[in-house]
Amino acid sequence: MPGGPPLRLPAHRASSATLAGAYPFLVTPSCTTGVLVGTDALTEEPFCFDPWDLYAAGVLTNPNVLLAGVIGQGKSALAKTLALRSIAAGRHVYVPGDPKGEWGPVARAVGGVVVRLGPDSPTRLNPLDVSTTEPTVAHTRRLRLLAALAATALRRDLSAAEHTVLDTALSLATTSSTTATVTVPGVVDALDGPRPEPDGQDLAHGLRRVVRGDLAGMFDGPSTHRLDADAPMLVLDLSALGADDEALELAMVCAAGWLDAALTTASADGGSARRWVIYDEAWRLLRSVPLIRRLQSQWKLSRAYGIANLMVLHRLSDLDAVGAAGSEARALAEGLLADCSTRIVYRQEADQLTATASALGLTRPERDVLAGLPRGVGLWKMPGRSHLVRHHLHADELAIVDTDAAMRGTPHRPQEVA
Protein backbone atom coordinates (compact mmCIF):
# COMPACT_ATOMS: atom_id res chain seq x y z
CA MET A 1 0.00 0.00 0.00
CA PRO A 2 1.23 3.56 -0.64
CA GLY A 3 2.88 4.91 2.44
CA GLY A 4 2.97 1.48 4.08
CA PRO A 5 6.01 -0.37 5.39
CA PRO A 6 8.50 -1.69 2.78
CA LEU A 7 8.24 -5.32 1.71
CA ARG A 8 10.58 -7.58 3.66
CA LEU A 9 11.11 -10.53 1.31
CA PRO A 10 14.11 -12.85 1.42
CA ALA A 11 16.67 -12.46 -1.39
CA HIS A 12 16.28 -14.93 -4.21
CA ARG A 13 18.98 -15.97 -6.67
CA ALA A 14 18.33 -17.79 -9.98
CA SER A 15 19.69 -18.04 -13.48
CA SER A 16 18.64 -15.46 -16.08
CA ALA A 17 16.89 -18.25 -18.01
CA THR A 18 14.71 -18.97 -14.98
CA LEU A 19 14.10 -15.33 -14.10
CA ALA A 20 13.11 -14.56 -17.69
CA GLY A 21 9.96 -16.62 -17.17
CA ALA A 22 8.89 -14.39 -14.30
CA TYR A 23 10.27 -11.14 -15.69
CA PRO A 24 9.63 -11.03 -19.48
CA PHE A 25 11.54 -7.75 -19.81
CA LEU A 26 14.75 -9.78 -19.41
CA VAL A 27 14.07 -11.62 -22.69
CA THR A 28 15.79 -10.23 -25.80
CA PRO A 29 13.17 -8.56 -28.03
CA SER A 30 12.15 -10.46 -31.15
CA CYS A 31 13.86 -9.48 -34.39
CA THR A 32 11.19 -9.44 -37.09
CA THR A 33 12.60 -6.67 -39.31
CA GLY A 34 13.88 -7.70 -42.72
CA VAL A 35 14.18 -11.00 -44.60
CA LEU A 36 13.58 -14.30 -42.84
CA VAL A 37 16.80 -16.01 -41.75
CA GLY A 38 15.41 -18.82 -39.61
CA THR A 39 14.24 -19.22 -36.05
CA ASP A 40 15.50 -18.12 -32.66
CA ALA A 41 16.93 -21.31 -31.15
CA LEU A 42 15.74 -20.31 -27.65
CA THR A 43 12.25 -18.98 -28.33
CA GLU A 44 11.47 -20.69 -31.66
CA GLU A 45 10.22 -17.35 -32.97
CA PRO A 46 11.00 -16.29 -36.55
CA PHE A 47 14.25 -14.33 -36.84
CA CYS A 48 14.61 -11.72 -39.58
CA PHE A 49 17.38 -9.31 -40.49
CA ASP A 50 17.89 -6.22 -42.62
CA PRO A 51 20.78 -3.89 -41.68
CA TRP A 52 19.24 -0.79 -43.30
CA ASP A 53 15.86 -1.06 -41.58
CA LEU A 54 17.47 -1.93 -38.25
CA TYR A 55 19.82 1.05 -38.61
CA ALA A 56 16.85 3.31 -39.37
CA ALA A 57 15.13 1.95 -36.26
CA GLY A 58 18.14 2.78 -34.09
CA VAL A 59 18.96 -0.85 -33.30
CA LEU A 60 22.29 -0.77 -35.19
CA THR A 61 24.93 1.95 -35.20
CA ASN A 62 26.10 1.02 -38.72
CA PRO A 63 24.99 -1.49 -41.40
CA ASN A 64 28.25 -3.50 -41.60
CA VAL A 65 28.34 -7.21 -40.67
CA LEU A 66 31.06 -9.65 -39.61
CA LEU A 67 30.47 -13.39 -40.17
CA ALA A 68 32.95 -15.86 -38.65
CA GLY A 69 32.97 -19.61 -38.21
CA VAL A 70 35.08 -22.71 -38.78
CA ILE A 71 34.83 -24.54 -42.08
CA GLY A 72 31.72 -26.63 -42.61
CA GLN A 73 29.39 -24.88 -40.16
CA GLY A 74 27.14 -23.21 -42.74
CA LYS A 75 28.44 -19.64 -42.80
CA SER A 76 28.82 -19.66 -46.59
CA ALA A 77 25.24 -20.89 -46.96
CA LEU A 78 24.10 -18.09 -44.66
CA ALA A 79 25.91 -15.40 -46.67
CA LYS A 80 24.46 -16.65 -49.94
CA THR A 81 20.89 -16.99 -48.69
CA LEU A 82 21.09 -13.51 -47.16
CA ALA A 83 22.03 -12.31 -50.65
CA LEU A 84 19.28 -14.28 -52.39
CA ARG A 85 16.54 -13.25 -49.99
CA SER A 86 17.66 -9.64 -49.85
CA ILE A 87 17.44 -9.45 -53.65
CA ALA A 88 13.87 -10.72 -53.42
CA ALA A 89 13.24 -7.83 -51.00
CA GLY A 90 14.59 -5.27 -53.49
CA ARG A 91 18.24 -5.06 -52.38
CA HIS A 92 21.22 -5.44 -54.72
CA VAL A 93 24.38 -7.47 -54.11
CA TYR A 94 28.01 -6.94 -55.17
CA VAL A 95 30.75 -9.53 -54.63
CA PRO A 96 33.94 -7.61 -55.57
CA GLY A 97 36.18 -10.67 -55.32
CA ASP A 98 35.16 -14.33 -55.59
CA PRO A 99 38.43 -16.29 -55.19
CA LYS A 100 36.84 -19.74 -55.41
CA GLY A 101 34.20 -19.12 -58.10
CA GLU A 102 31.33 -20.11 -55.78
CA TRP A 103 29.16 -17.04 -56.26
CA GLY A 104 28.62 -17.40 -60.01
CA PRO A 105 25.69 -19.86 -59.66
CA VAL A 106 24.05 -17.54 -57.13
CA ALA A 107 24.31 -14.56 -59.49
CA ARG A 108 23.01 -16.52 -62.48
CA ALA A 109 20.08 -17.83 -60.44
CA VAL A 110 18.79 -14.28 -59.92
CA GLY A 111 19.63 -12.93 -63.37
CA GLY A 112 22.78 -11.18 -62.18
CA VAL A 113 26.09 -10.54 -63.91
CA VAL A 114 29.32 -12.52 -63.50
CA VAL A 115 32.49 -10.72 -64.61
CA ARG A 116 35.30 -13.25 -64.93
CA LEU A 117 38.81 -11.85 -64.64
CA GLY A 118 41.89 -13.82 -65.53
CA PRO A 119 44.80 -14.16 -67.95
CA ASP A 120 42.55 -15.83 -70.53
CA SER A 121 39.58 -13.47 -70.18
CA PRO A 122 38.89 -10.58 -72.58
CA THR A 123 37.39 -8.54 -69.75
CA ARG A 124 39.32 -5.52 -68.47
CA LEU A 125 38.55 -3.21 -65.58
CA ASN A 126 40.39 0.08 -65.33
CA PRO A 127 41.20 0.74 -61.65
CA LEU A 128 41.83 4.42 -62.47
CA ASP A 129 38.24 5.03 -63.53
CA VAL A 130 36.75 7.87 -61.51
CA SER A 131 33.21 9.14 -61.07
CA THR A 132 34.06 12.84 -61.22
CA THR A 133 35.23 15.22 -63.92
CA GLU A 134 36.71 17.64 -61.37
CA PRO A 135 40.46 17.38 -62.12
CA THR A 136 41.79 17.78 -58.58
CA VAL A 137 39.43 15.22 -57.06
CA ALA A 138 40.05 12.76 -59.91
CA HIS A 139 43.82 13.13 -59.53
CA THR A 140 43.66 12.56 -55.76
CA ARG A 141 41.57 9.40 -56.09
CA ARG A 142 43.81 7.96 -58.79
CA LEU A 143 46.95 8.77 -56.81
CA ARG A 144 45.61 6.98 -53.73
CA LEU A 145 44.80 3.89 -55.79
CA LEU A 146 48.22 3.86 -57.45
CA ALA A 147 49.97 4.28 -54.09
CA ALA A 148 47.99 1.37 -52.64
CA LEU A 149 48.73 -0.76 -55.70
CA ALA A 150 52.46 0.01 -55.61
CA ALA A 151 52.69 -0.57 -51.84
CA THR A 152 50.94 -3.93 -52.23
CA ALA A 153 53.27 -5.00 -55.03
CA LEU A 154 56.40 -3.86 -53.14
CA ARG A 155 55.18 -5.26 -49.79
CA ARG A 156 56.07 -2.00 -48.02
CA ASP A 157 54.94 1.59 -47.57
CA LEU A 158 56.14 4.15 -50.08
CA SER A 159 58.71 6.77 -49.14
CA ALA A 160 57.98 10.49 -49.36
CA ALA A 161 60.18 10.74 -52.47
CA GLU A 162 58.30 7.87 -54.12
CA HIS A 163 54.97 9.58 -53.45
CA THR A 164 56.29 12.69 -55.18
CA VAL A 165 57.55 10.71 -58.18
CA LEU A 166 54.24 8.85 -58.47
CA ASP A 167 52.32 12.14 -58.30
CA THR A 168 54.45 13.57 -61.12
CA ALA A 169 54.09 10.43 -63.26
CA LEU A 170 50.29 10.49 -62.87
CA SER A 171 50.19 14.15 -63.93
CA LEU A 172 52.28 13.34 -67.02
CA ALA A 173 50.08 10.37 -67.89
CA THR A 174 46.95 12.50 -67.52
CA THR A 175 48.17 15.34 -69.73
CA SER A 176 49.64 13.01 -72.39
CA SER A 177 46.50 10.87 -72.68
CA THR A 178 44.63 11.50 -75.93
CA THR A 179 41.34 10.70 -74.19
CA ALA A 180 39.85 11.34 -70.77
CA THR A 181 40.84 7.79 -69.79
CA VAL A 182 43.98 7.37 -67.69
CA THR A 183 45.39 3.85 -67.35
CA VAL A 184 48.09 2.11 -65.34
CA PRO A 185 50.26 1.52 -68.47
CA GLY A 186 50.27 5.28 -69.04
CA VAL A 187 51.66 5.84 -65.55
CA VAL A 188 54.29 3.11 -66.00
CA ASP A 189 55.38 4.72 -69.29
CA ALA A 190 55.73 8.05 -67.47
CA LEU A 191 57.88 6.40 -64.79
CA ASP A 192 60.03 4.82 -67.53
CA GLY A 193 60.34 8.10 -69.44
CA PRO A 194 63.47 9.44 -71.17
CA ARG A 195 64.88 10.62 -67.85
CA PRO A 196 63.46 8.26 -65.19
CA GLU A 197 63.78 9.33 -61.58
CA PRO A 198 65.94 7.04 -59.41
CA ASP A 199 63.24 7.02 -56.74
CA GLY A 200 60.76 5.75 -59.32
CA GLN A 201 62.58 2.55 -60.26
CA ASP A 202 60.92 0.37 -57.61
CA LEU A 203 57.56 1.96 -58.40
CA ALA A 204 57.91 1.10 -62.07
CA HIS A 205 58.88 -2.51 -61.24
CA GLY A 206 55.93 -2.91 -58.87
CA LEU A 207 53.30 -1.43 -61.20
CA ARG A 208 54.74 -3.24 -64.22
CA ARG A 209 53.35 -6.49 -62.83
CA VAL A 210 49.84 -5.21 -63.59
CA VAL A 211 50.91 -4.29 -67.14
CA ARG A 212 53.20 -7.13 -68.22
CA GLY A 213 53.17 -9.62 -65.35
CA ASP A 214 50.70 -12.29 -64.27
CA LEU A 215 47.90 -9.71 -64.07
CA ALA A 216 48.41 -8.50 -67.64
CA GLY A 217 45.19 -8.19 -69.59
CA MET A 218 43.03 -7.62 -66.53
CA PHE A 219 43.63 -4.04 -65.37
CA ASP A 220 45.88 -2.58 -68.05
CA GLY A 221 43.43 -0.79 -70.32
CA PRO A 222 40.06 0.96 -70.54
CA SER A 223 37.18 -0.88 -68.86
CA THR A 224 35.27 -3.24 -71.13
CA HIS A 225 32.47 -3.59 -68.57
CA ARG A 226 30.39 -0.95 -66.86
CA LEU A 227 28.51 -1.61 -63.66
CA ASP A 228 24.78 -1.91 -64.33
CA ALA A 229 23.14 -0.19 -61.38
CA ASP A 230 19.91 -2.10 -62.09
CA ALA A 231 21.51 -5.56 -62.07
CA PRO A 232 20.37 -7.48 -58.98
CA MET A 233 23.82 -8.98 -58.46
CA LEU A 234 27.37 -8.47 -59.71
CA VAL A 235 30.19 -10.94 -59.05
CA LEU A 236 33.86 -10.41 -59.94
CA ASP A 237 35.14 -13.97 -60.40
CA LEU A 238 38.86 -14.16 -59.54
CA SER A 239 39.07 -17.95 -59.36
CA ALA A 240 41.41 -18.02 -62.40
CA LEU A 241 44.14 -16.62 -60.13
CA GLY A 242 44.13 -19.86 -58.13
CA ALA A 243 45.91 -19.94 -54.76
CA ASP A 244 48.26 -17.03 -55.52
CA ASP A 245 47.47 -14.77 -52.55
CA GLU A 246 49.79 -11.99 -53.72
CA ALA A 247 48.11 -11.83 -57.13
CA LEU A 248 44.71 -11.88 -55.41
CA GLU A 249 45.70 -8.92 -53.21
CA LEU A 250 46.79 -6.88 -56.23
CA ALA A 251 43.62 -7.80 -58.10
CA MET A 252 41.48 -6.84 -55.12
CA VAL A 253 43.18 -3.42 -54.84
CA CYS A 254 42.40 -2.82 -58.51
CA ALA A 255 38.86 -4.16 -58.18
CA ALA A 256 38.26 -2.01 -55.08
CA GLY A 257 39.24 1.10 -57.05
CA TRP A 258 36.86 0.20 -59.88
CA LEU A 259 34.09 -0.62 -57.42
CA ASP A 260 34.51 2.71 -55.59
CA ALA A 261 34.03 4.56 -58.88
CA ALA A 262 31.06 2.39 -59.82
CA LEU A 263 29.33 2.85 -56.43
CA THR A 264 29.87 6.59 -56.51
CA THR A 265 28.51 6.79 -60.07
CA ALA A 266 25.44 4.72 -59.16
CA SER A 267 24.77 6.98 -56.15
CA ALA A 268 25.25 10.16 -58.21
CA ASP A 269 22.88 8.83 -60.89
CA GLY A 270 20.12 8.61 -58.31
CA GLY A 271 20.33 4.90 -57.62
CA SER A 272 18.19 4.28 -54.53
CA ALA A 273 18.70 0.52 -54.14
CA ARG A 274 20.50 -0.58 -51.01
CA ARG A 275 23.49 -2.82 -51.77
CA TRP A 276 25.23 -5.64 -49.97
CA VAL A 277 29.00 -5.70 -50.65
CA ILE A 278 30.23 -9.17 -49.69
CA TYR A 279 33.88 -10.04 -49.06
CA ASP A 280 34.07 -13.84 -48.94
CA GLU A 281 37.31 -15.50 -47.82
CA ALA A 282 38.28 -12.13 -46.32
CA TRP A 283 41.11 -13.73 -44.34
CA ARG A 284 43.10 -13.75 -47.60
CA LEU A 285 42.67 -9.97 -47.91
CA LEU A 286 43.67 -9.02 -44.38
CA ARG A 287 47.34 -9.71 -45.17
CA SER A 288 47.56 -6.55 -47.27
CA VAL A 289 47.80 -3.33 -45.26
CA PRO A 290 47.10 -1.06 -48.28
CA LEU A 291 43.98 -3.07 -49.04
CA ILE A 292 42.84 -2.89 -45.43
CA ARG A 293 43.15 0.90 -45.64
CA ARG A 294 40.91 0.93 -48.71
CA LEU A 295 38.40 -1.35 -47.03
CA GLN A 296 38.40 0.88 -43.96
CA SER A 297 37.50 3.85 -46.14
CA GLN A 298 34.63 1.88 -47.66
CA TRP A 299 33.46 0.79 -44.21
CA LYS A 300 33.43 4.43 -43.04
CA LEU A 301 31.47 5.54 -46.12
CA SER A 302 28.93 2.72 -45.98
CA ARG A 303 26.10 5.00 -44.89
CA ALA A 304 26.95 7.61 -47.52
CA TYR A 305 26.99 4.95 -50.25
CA GLY A 306 23.89 3.17 -48.92
CA ILE A 307 25.80 -0.12 -48.67
CA ALA A 308 26.23 -2.83 -46.06
CA ASN A 309 29.61 -4.57 -46.05
CA LEU A 310 29.70 -8.25 -45.10
CA MET A 311 33.13 -9.66 -44.20
CA VAL A 312 33.44 -13.46 -43.94
CA LEU A 313 36.27 -14.98 -41.86
CA HIS A 314 37.05 -18.42 -40.48
CA ARG A 315 38.31 -17.27 -37.09
CA LEU A 316 39.37 -14.08 -35.39
CA SER A 317 42.96 -15.30 -35.09
CA ASP A 318 43.19 -14.57 -38.83
CA LEU A 319 44.10 -11.09 -37.60
CA ASP A 320 47.47 -12.49 -36.49
CA ALA A 321 48.46 -12.64 -40.17
CA VAL A 322 48.06 -8.86 -40.41
CA GLY A 323 50.59 -7.84 -37.81
CA ALA A 324 51.62 -8.03 -34.19
CA ALA A 325 49.37 -6.68 -31.47
CA GLY A 326 49.79 -2.92 -31.22
CA SER A 327 51.02 -2.49 -34.79
CA GLU A 328 49.35 -0.08 -37.22
CA ALA A 329 48.29 -2.97 -39.45
CA ARG A 330 46.63 -4.79 -36.55
CA ALA A 331 44.90 -1.60 -35.43
CA LEU A 332 43.47 -1.09 -38.93
CA ALA A 333 42.13 -4.65 -39.07
CA GLU A 334 40.62 -4.41 -35.60
CA GLY A 335 39.04 -1.12 -36.68
CA LEU A 336 37.16 -3.00 -39.40
CA LEU A 337 35.72 -5.33 -36.76
CA ALA A 338 34.79 -2.40 -34.53
CA ASP A 339 32.88 -0.86 -37.45
CA CYS A 340 30.71 -3.97 -37.79
CA SER A 341 27.64 -3.34 -35.68
CA THR A 342 26.41 -6.91 -36.25
CA ARG A 343 28.67 -9.86 -35.43
CA ILE A 344 27.56 -13.36 -36.44
CA VAL A 345 29.69 -16.13 -34.94
CA TYR A 346 29.33 -19.80 -35.78
CA ARG A 347 31.11 -22.57 -33.90
CA GLN A 348 34.70 -21.82 -32.91
CA GLU A 349 37.35 -24.27 -31.79
CA ALA A 350 38.10 -24.34 -28.06
CA ASP A 351 41.52 -22.73 -28.48
CA GLN A 352 39.92 -19.79 -30.32
CA LEU A 353 37.28 -18.89 -27.74
CA THR A 354 39.31 -16.46 -25.65
CA ALA A 355 40.59 -14.49 -28.66
CA THR A 356 37.12 -14.40 -30.21
CA ALA A 357 35.48 -13.19 -27.00
CA SER A 358 38.13 -10.50 -26.55
CA ALA A 359 37.95 -9.24 -30.14
CA LEU A 360 34.14 -9.10 -30.24
CA GLY A 361 33.38 -8.13 -26.66
CA LEU A 362 31.43 -11.29 -25.86
CA THR A 363 30.08 -12.03 -22.41
CA ARG A 364 31.14 -15.20 -20.62
CA PRO A 365 27.89 -17.09 -21.47
CA GLU A 366 28.20 -16.00 -25.11
CA ARG A 367 31.79 -17.18 -25.17
CA ASP A 368 30.99 -20.56 -23.64
CA VAL A 369 28.17 -21.33 -26.05
CA LEU A 370 30.35 -21.00 -29.17
CA ALA A 371 32.24 -24.28 -28.71
CA GLY A 372 29.07 -26.37 -28.76
CA LEU A 373 27.01 -24.74 -31.48
CA PRO A 374 25.61 -27.27 -33.97
CA ARG A 375 25.94 -26.75 -37.71
CA GLY A 376 23.76 -23.92 -38.98
CA VAL A 377 23.29 -22.23 -35.58
CA GLY A 378 25.07 -18.97 -34.90
CA LEU A 379 25.34 -16.29 -32.25
CA TRP A 380 24.05 -12.98 -33.61
CA LYS A 381 25.39 -10.16 -31.45
CA MET A 382 24.01 -6.66 -31.96
CA PRO A 383 24.23 -3.61 -29.70
CA GLY A 384 22.40 -4.41 -26.48
CA ARG A 385 21.00 -7.75 -27.67
CA SER A 386 22.05 -11.25 -28.68
CA HIS A 387 20.26 -14.12 -30.40
CA LEU A 388 21.03 -17.76 -31.07
CA VAL A 389 19.66 -18.28 -34.56
CA ARG A 390 19.01 -21.52 -36.42
CA HIS A 391 19.38 -20.86 -40.13
CA HIS A 392 16.83 -22.57 -42.38
CA LEU A 393 17.34 -23.36 -46.05
CA HIS A 394 14.56 -23.82 -48.59
CA ALA A 395 14.83 -26.86 -50.86
CA ASP A 396 15.20 -24.64 -53.91
CA GLU A 397 18.18 -22.85 -52.33
CA LEU A 398 20.20 -25.98 -51.58
CA ALA A 399 21.40 -26.60 -55.12
CA ILE A 400 22.63 -22.99 -55.33
CA VAL A 401 24.33 -22.45 -51.97
CA ASP A 402 25.51 -25.91 -50.87
CA THR A 403 29.29 -26.24 -51.39
CA ASP A 404 29.71 -29.55 -49.52
CA ALA A 405 27.91 -31.95 -51.88
CA ALA A 406 31.17 -33.03 -53.53
CA MET A 407 32.73 -33.83 -50.15
CA ARG A 408 29.71 -35.84 -49.02
CA GLY A 409 29.25 -37.68 -52.31
CA THR A 410 25.50 -37.47 -51.77
CA PRO A 411 22.72 -35.66 -53.63
CA HIS A 412 21.16 -32.52 -52.20
CA ARG A 413 18.37 -33.15 -49.74
CA PRO A 414 15.70 -30.62 -48.74
CA GLN A 415 16.51 -30.00 -45.11
CA GLU A 416 17.53 -27.17 -42.85
CA VAL A 417 21.20 -26.52 -42.35
CA ALA A 418 21.12 -27.35 -38.66
Q: Which domains does the chain have, with CATH numbers?
A: 16-91+274-408 (3.40.50.300)
What average pLDDT does range 14-25 have in this prediction? 56
Q: Residues 220-234: pLDDT tens digits?
A: 999 998 878 789 999
Burial of 272 (0-12, 13-18, 19+ CB in 10 A): exposed
Q: Residues 239-296: pLDDT tens digits?
A: 998 878 888 888 888 887 777 777 776 665 555 568 999 998 887 777 778 888 888 8
Output the pLDDT for position 412.
39
Return d(Cα 308, Cα 41) in angstroms, integer: 25
- Cβ proximity of 170 and 207 under 8 Å: no
How many Cα atoms sit within 13 Å of 133 on the Cβ side? 3
Output the pLDDT for position 13.
76
- Cβ proximity of 98 and 248 under 8 Å: no
* Lowest-pLDDT range of 46-50, 96-100, 293-297: 293-297
- The phi, psi pair for 248, rounded to 5°, reads -65, -40
Output the pLDDT for position 19.
55
pLDDT band at 38 (very low <50, low <70, confident <90, very high): very high
What average pLDDT does range 135-163 have in this prediction? 93
What average pLDDT does range 378-387 have in this prediction? 93
